[in-house]
Amino acid sequence: MKPLDEFPAPPMPPPPFPSLSAPVWASAFRPFYLLGALYAPLLMVVWAGAYLGAWDVPVSAATPLALWHGHEMLFGFAAAIITGIVLTALPSWAGTPEIRGGRLALLVALWLAGRLACWATPWLPPLLVTVADSLLFPALFVLLAPQLWRAANPLYLLLLPILAALSGANLAYHAGIAAADPALGGLGLRAGVYAVIVLYVLKGGLLTPIFTGNALREKGRGDQAPFRAGLDAAAVVVVVVLAVLDLAAVPAHWTGAAAFACASIHAWRVTRWQGWRVADVPLVLVMHLGFAWLIFAFALKAAAELAGVVAEAAWLHAFTVGSLGMMMVGLMVRVSLRHTGRPLALPHAMRFAALLLFAAALVRLAVTVHELGAWAVAIAALLWSVAFVLYLARFGTILVGPSVPRARAKQHV
């Protein structure tokens, strides 16, 4: 099977409206990466300022700042990047028609409607906010279900329950906010994080070893580690078990045991990929670093539940800031280069961005474990934000501009 970035984009039919023929509407990664990278620093700066007491955020009195921040990071920023990754990957991997033009513009409009509603919460009826912010994932489900049902590989249908879980988690969050029940709102956010982890394990666990194999062959260092269906299935199942136990609030030793199993199985799985042998290939290395943070997150969860030696929130920051951040940037750069006809070489600015993300994760984790002050939270937010500002500076014009012909791009390798 060829990797995602080796497939040319299908020919684009003429759109019904000339404005939808602009390059930004040619593929989902273009508008969603652009919006996600724009939203990331804006959201982080606004949240950090509110956290430090410099200003207020537009939330209702019943919405804790931490919940608003978590919701917008997950269902705002992360949802945009995930949508761009999934919709760009499926035509190559599952052979589905690419969503572009008017349908893509509709999805972008739904994402924007959700963001506007969540920022205008104090002035809108709660039901309107809930509806506006809950349309993106159901729309994706409706668009993708018929396509995936016809796909040759039925495993792609696993994306549908993940989309349904994300939609349900978002509704649970809004139900908690409407009922002035922060516990329910927080439960919804945690369910959403687990849904993202399952998608991460499924898709990241497919792309990372394949791209690693490509790099190993190119360097003359061997071949890709063969997939083991049983191990790959266990890696997904054990995360689902952990999610069920954690969300059900079972005794801590059960949750801790499941987290330890997650760390062990994923460490075994990732070690088989031999990422250390491609440490000199930054575009692949950053994906392995993302999985290293994932394993560390599970280990922190086990330590928190079994021994209480770290704060329980530590594992969430290890995953969201470290693991998810590293993987997102790695895929955003890779797809932005290859799908616009450019050679796969990590720009120096993005190497620095990856270092900033890694540092942000370390600082944010230190804040949680060692109870550092607000100044450290602000530093972590700044480091994380600058990484996405660098992505915008390097790729913003590429995302809205025309692709480079592949033949021309190869001349610059």
pLDDT digits (tens, 9 = 90+) for 163-221: 999 999 999 999 999 999 999 999 999 999 999 999 999 999 999 999 999 999 999 99
- Statement: residue 409 has pLDDT above 70: no
pLDDT of amino acid 59 = 81
pLDDT of amino acid 406 = 62
Mean per-residue pLDDT for 58-87? Answer: 92
- Statement: residue 356 has pLDDT above 90: yes
Amino acid, single-letter form, for residue 257: A
**Neighbouring residues of 122: CB distance < 8 A, sequence distance ≥ 6:** 58, 59, 60
Helix 229-247 × helix 252-272 angle, to 10°: 160
- Statement: residue 102 has pLDDT above 90: yes
- Closest CA relative to residue 86, chosen from 24, 137, 42: 137
pLDDT: which is higher, 59 or 71: 71
pLDDT: which is higher, 374 or 81: 81
Torsion, CA 345, CA 359, CA 361, CA 112, rounded to 10:
-60
Lowest-confidence pick of 9-13, 189-193, 285-289:
9-13
Mean per-residue pLDDT for 30-40? Answer: 97
pLDDT of amino acid 408 = 45
Quote the CA–CA distance of 375 and 340 in Å, as a whole number. 40
Q: Among the CATH numbers 1.20.210.10, 3.30.310.50, 1.10.3720.10, 3.30.1360.120, which is that of 25-402?
A: 1.20.210.10
Mean per-residue pLDDT for 378-401? Answer: 95
Q: Give the Cα-Cα-Cα angle 5, 9, 15 (nearest 5 degrees).
A: 145
Torsion, CA 281, CA 287, CA 290, CA 294, rounded to 10:
-130
pLDDT of amino acid 357 = 95
pLDDT of amino acid 42 = 95
Lowest-confidence pick of 10-19, 278-287, 377-386:
10-19
- Closest CA relative to residue 228, chosen from 270, 188, 191: 270
Question: What tokens does 52 get?
Answer: 């430090």
3 falls in which pLDDT band (50, 70, 90)? very low
Quote the CA–CA distance of 324 and 330 in Å, as a whole number. 10
pLDDT of amino acid 5 = 45
Amino acid, single-letter form, for residue 192: G
19 falls in which pLDDT band (50, 70, 90)? low
pLDDT digit string (tens) for 219-261?
999 899 999 999 999 999 999 999 999 999 999 999 999 999 9
372 falls in which pLDDT band (50, 70, 90)? confident
pLDDT of amino acid 8 = 45
pLDDT of amino acid 370 = 80
323 secondary structure, DSSP code: I
Contact 315, 298 (CB under 8 A): yes
Mean per-residue pLDDT for 52-79? Answer: 90
3-state helix, strand and coil shares in percent for the chain, rounded to the nearest 5: 75, 0, 25
pLDDT of amino acid 54 = 87
Q: How far is CA 372 from CA 52, 67, 102, in A?
A: 14, 21, 48
pLDDT of amino acid 73 = 96
Q: How far is CA 85 from CA 29, 89, 281, in A?
A: 6, 6, 21
Farthest-apart Cα atoms in the chain, separation: 61
Q: What percent of the chain has pLDDT over 90?
A: 81
Task: Kindly report the average pLDDT of the chain as a whole number.
Answer: 91
